[in-house]
Structure 1
């Protein structure tokens, strides 16, 4: 999870590969109207995001029912959005990729071919709600190399006992912060 430019897709792809899991790119679940709205420089509101996140939640639920390990790249900016994603699977682990606005603004200004314009970064930071104490997850500063971010995320998943490997106990309130 995280605002645009944090490397969600890159990190999620690497984590999925290391876990022999399935990568689910959240952006591919957006209806065209959402993509058009963002491409025009307009931020999405809750009504725009709800059907998108509900379709992702259904995908997560199906993968869980099939016993598959899934890694989802999705902004999940607000607690409400993360709650919508958890509707079918309560034990979702969120890797919150985060850093300073200026770092991400610079990254996004150099990015080409993405529908999300740098002008929307400010609205994403305004929308962002950090993980709360009762949410299973980890916050990682993405000024580190992608490999370091992936390694830290995998260590946190192992501590949490995810993906499940049997009868292991895990701390249901695990949350790590930098």
Structure 2
């Protein structure tokens, strides 16, 4: 990746901020594995969200353990990865980082009006647009957290990637 050392990057933000699209392109550019944190949700969580029920911290606990374990495995195999994970609260990011080394978080910051517009256009995803208020209510932006990059998700993908790669480059030096 940036300095030939394996690195784990978690791309976080509310649903609709562009995490999956951004992370897919970032992983391609960095020649890293791509892991969608949504794929690590337990069945009960997926069913709740599909029924329009917002997850609470208890629901997310097992999911965060799964993400933490995936990172641990990747680091022990010396593999780089970009992981998509909402990681809305500081406690979630701490749970992901616990007993893992040097995880960089990229926060895709976006305005709620833009997110609502994007979610209305989205099809085939279990996060319902009516749940966006709960996402913004839970969001604790990672200001002042170590190894964190903030990218304006209101701009186009090319600009987001350019911004992120520049910040990651500065972080690595």
Query: Does TM, normalized by the shorter one, top 0.5?
Result: yes
- The alignment partner of 2:93 has SS state of helix
What is residue 4 of structure 2 aligned with on the other side? none
Do the aligned partners of 1:96 and 1:137 also contact (CA within 8 Å) in 2?
Answer: yes
Matched, 1:151 2:165: no
Gaps of 5+ in 2: 1-11
**Counterpart for residue 176 of structure 1:** none
Quote the Cα distance in structure 2 between the aligned partners of 1:63 and 1:158: 21
Among 103, 107, 114, the alignment partner of 1:96 is 107
User: What are the within-5 Å matches in structure 2 for residues 18-37 of structure 1?
Assistant: 18-37=29-48
2:59 counterpart residue number: 48
Q: Which runs of 4+ in 1 moved over 2 A?
A: none
Deviations 1:83-117 (A, max 9, x none): 01001324111111111111100000010111100
CA RMSD in angstroms comes to: 1.0
For 2:137, which of 126, 138, 141 is the aligned residue? 126
Q: CA deviation at 1:135?
A: 2.7
Structure 1 stretches lacking a partner, 5+ long: 162-169, 171-178
CA distance in structure 2 between the partners assigned to 1:36 and 1:134 by the alignment:
32
Which among 68, 74, 88 is matched to residue 57 of structure 1?
68
Q: Hey, what's the Cα distance between the residues in 1 that align with 2:143 and 2:63? A: 23
Q: Report the equivalent of 2:49.
A: 38
Give the TM-score of the pair, scaled to structure 2: 0.90
**Shift in Å, 1:54:** 0.7
- The residue number in structure 1 matching 2:119 is 108
Alpha-carbon distance in structure 2 between the residues aligned to 1:151 and 1:89: 27
TM-score by structure 1 length? 0.88
> Alignment length, in residue pairs?
162
